[in-house]
Amino acid sequence: MLENLESNYDCANAGDDLHQLKQELESLRAQQADQETINRLENQISFILNKCDISH
């Protein structure tokens, strides 16, 4: 999970960050982790997709 996602996020990192976050999310879902952590990861993924204008 990324520590700080802010409005000045560098979209040049989006490819690597999204890959890492999606793998982490998949792992947490498989482990049935707490919903708050899963929600936070989903929000981070959505933030990057929206900020960097990336299609789902």
User: Which of residues 2 and 30 earns the better pLDDT score?
Assistant: 30
> If you count DSSP H runs as helices and E runs as strands, how many of each does the chain have, helices first?
2, 0
The domain segmentation of the chain, as residue ranges, is 12-51
pLDDT in tens, 26-42: 999 999 999 999 999 99
pLDDT in tens, 4-33: 788 899 999 999 999 999 999 999 999 999
Sequence-distant (6+) residues with CB within 8 A of 3 are: none
